[in-house]
């Protein structure tokens, strides 16, 4: 406080007065505000206000039924402590990260394989067909993907049919009801949805790499794995970064697929934060805890995505 006072009182020269904005500058500023206002207002009303409320609720213990004034009480950071110490909630957050691995690794690896194998834009009728089919899962509701796959994973579904056909009768099971395999099974649904998008991103990316780089590498005696390591991977850094960003956001904030395919079961084996927030808030009436989990989820997504974006930006410079 004293420091502040000193600095103002002791300032030898008054700061140069900012030149008064001209009428035209003011008019432009007014125009800007008018153009931004509708977007900003509705954004503020339905994102910022709720976000602020989320933070507020997360400090309360409230059942969400009565008025806040009468039925809620201040609970401090105890909701957050519970989120970060409760075994079940920790497992649920862990589930989200396991899903992130499933959502990310198969699509990116398969996409890289396809991209480096064809190493050019997909053209012609085959290319169009490929694009169209691989993009189908992006177009349908995730809910439909969930229903389609729960039938695939059914005891009498295609997966088990296939296993029987190749003679692995003993491996058959109801996949989504199995404590060990339910989460990977859900993960594969996500991988299936994201496969086409990642593949196409990487194929488009690799077509942009200068072909002479590969020729130069060959002349330098590079084997295919060297080409992959020293030409393809560096050339696709951006696209890979984009894929990972998309898949991680999808995995951490997944809701639709899990809700439809397993409803979080068996037990809480496939429960993810999104689903748990919904349950806590609307079934268990623990609005405070749900909100704390929501805030933690938001921070986790940022914590995963920001470093990737940061790394991409630095490379672009």
Partner 1 sequence: MADLKLRGVRKAYGAADVIKGVDLDIAHGEFVVFVGPSGCGKSTLLRLIAGLEDITSGDIEIGGKLVNDVEARDRGVAMVFQSYALYPHMSVRDNVGFGLRLARVPKAERAKAVEEAARILQMEPLLDRKPAQLSGGQRQRVAIGRAIVRDPEVFLFDEPLSNLDAALRMDMRAELARLHQQLGATMIYVTHDQVEAMTLADKIVVLKDGEVQQIGAPMELYDHPANLFVAGFIGAPKMNLLEADVTSVDGATIRLGGADLTELTVTGAAGTLPARGEAVTLGIRPHDLIPAADGPLRPRIDLIERLGHETIIAGALPSGARLTAVLEARSPVRLDEEVPLSVAPGAARLFAASGEAVPLKAD
Partner 2 sequence: MTFPRLRTNALFARGLIVLLMIVTLLPFLSMLSAALAPSGSYPSGLEWPSDPAWGNFAKAWQVANMTELMTSSVLIVLGTVPAAVLFATMAGFGLAKLTTKRSAWFYLVFVIGLTLPFEAVITPLYFEVRELGLLNTRGAIILPLIGLYMPFSVFWMRAHFLSIPQDLSEASQLDGARRWQEFWMVQVPLARPAIMSLSILLFLWTWNQFLLPVVLVQEPTRRTMAGALGAFQGQWGTDIPLLCAGSLIILAPTVILFLIFQRQFVAALLQGAVKG
Residue 21 C-beta: closest distance to partner 1, Å: 8
H-helix segments, 15-123: 23-43, 49-57, 68-71, 78-85, 87-118
Q: How many residues in the chain? A: 317
Tell me how far apart the alpha carbons of residues 231 and 217 are, in angstroms, rounded to a whole number: 8
Q: Which residue has the tokens 């410079």?
A: 317
15 binds partner 1 per the rule CB under 8 A: no
Residue 64 C-beta: closest distance to partner 2, Å: 7
Nearest residue (CB) to partner 2, 6 versus 306: 306
19 binds partner 1 per the rule CB under 8 A: yes
Tell me how far apart the alpha carbons of residues 303 and 103 are, in angstroms, rounded to a whole number: 18
Listed ranges 15-23, 30-38, 106-114, 303-311: which one lies at the site for partner 1 (CB under 8 A) = 15-23
Q: Per DSSP, which regions of the chain are E strands?
A: 60-61, 73-74
Nearest residue (CB) to partner 1, 28 versus 128: 28
CB 276 within 8 A of CB 89: yes
Closest CA to 159 of 147, 146, 174, 170: 174
Residues sharing a CB contact under 8 Å with residue 236, sequence separation 6 or more, in sequence order: 112, 115, 202, 205, 206, 209
Residue 304 C-beta: closest distance to partner 1, Å: 38
18 binds partner 1 per the rule CB under 8 A: no
Tokens for 281, please give them: 């808030």
41 binds partner 1 per the rule CB under 8 A: no
Nearest residue (CB) to partner 1, 23 versus 225: 23
Pick from partner 1, partner 2, none: which does 49 bind, CB < 5 to 8 A by kind?
Answer: partner 2
Nearest residue (CB) to partner 2, 6 versus 128: 128
Closest CA to 21 of 13, 30, 12: 30
Pick from partner 1, partner 2, none: which does 29 bind, CB < 5 to 8 A by kind?
Answer: partner 2
Closest CA to 206 of 107, 110, 115: 115
Pick from partner 1, partner 2, none: which does 310 bind, CB < 5 to 8 A by kind?
Answer: none
Other CB atoms within 10 Å distance of the CB of residue 19: 7
Nearest residue (CB) to partner 2, 239 versus 269: 239
Pick from partner 2, partner 1, none: which does 22 bind, CB < 5 to 8 A by kind?
Answer: partner 1
24 binds partner 1 per the rule CB under 8 A: yes
In the window 220-249, what residues touch partner 1 (CB under 8 A)?
none
Q: Which residue has the tokens 């996409």?
A: 111
Residue 293 C-beta: closest distance to partner 2, Å: 9
**What are residue 60's DSSP bridge partners?**
74
In the window 64-83, what residues touch partner 1 (CB under 8 A)?
none
CB 303 within 8 A of CB 86: no
Pick from partner 2, partner 1, none: which does 23 bind, CB < 5 to 8 A by kind?
Answer: partner 1
Tell me how far apart the alpha carbons of residues 187 and 27 are, in angstroms, rounded to a whole number: 54
Residue 13 C-beta: closest distance to partner 1, Å: 15
Residue 280 C-beta: closest distance to partner 1, Å: 52
Nearest residue (CB) to partner 2, 53 versus 90: 53
Contact footprint for partner 1 (CB under 8 A) = 19, 22-25, 27
């Amino acid at each position: 406080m004293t420091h502040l006072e000193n600095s103002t009182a002791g300032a030898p020269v008054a700061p140069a007065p900012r030149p008064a904005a001209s009428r035209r500058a003011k008019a432009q500023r007014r125009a800007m505000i008018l153009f931004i206002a509708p977007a900003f207002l509705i954004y503020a009303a339905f994102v910022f206000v709720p976000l602020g409320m989320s933070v507020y609720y997360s400090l309360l213990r409230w059942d969400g039924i009565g008025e806040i004034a009468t039925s809620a009480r201040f609970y401090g950071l105890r909701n957050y402590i519970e989120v970060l110490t409760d075994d079940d909630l920790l497992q649920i957050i862990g589930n989200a990260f396991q899903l992130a691995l499933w959502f990310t690794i198969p699509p990116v690896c398969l996409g890289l394989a396809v991209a480096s194998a064809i190493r050019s834009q997909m053209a012609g009728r085959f290319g169009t067909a490929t694009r169209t089919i691989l993009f189908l899962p992006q177009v349908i509701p995730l809910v439909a993907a969930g229903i389609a796959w729960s039938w695939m994973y059914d005891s009498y579904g295609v997966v088990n049919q296939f296993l029987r056909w190749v003679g692995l009768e003993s491996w058959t099971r109801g996949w989504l009801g199995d404590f060990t395999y339910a989460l990977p099974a859900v993960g594969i649904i996500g991988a299936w949805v994201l496969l086409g998008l990642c593949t196409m991103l990487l194929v488009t990316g690799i077509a942009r790499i200068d072909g002479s780089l590969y020729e130069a590498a060959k002349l330098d005696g590079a084997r295919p794995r060297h080409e992959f390591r020293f030409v393809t991977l560096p050339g696709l850094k951006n696209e890979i970064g984009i894929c990972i960003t998309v898949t991680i956001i999808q995995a951490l904030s997944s809701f639709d697929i899990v809700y439809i395919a397993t409803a979080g079961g068996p037990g809480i084996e496939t429960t993810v934060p999104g689903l748990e927030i919904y349950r806590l808030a609307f079934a268990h009436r623990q609005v405070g805890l749900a909100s704390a989990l929501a805030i933690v989820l938001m921070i986790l997504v940022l914590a995963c995505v920001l470093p990737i974006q940061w790394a991409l930006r630095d490379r672009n410079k």
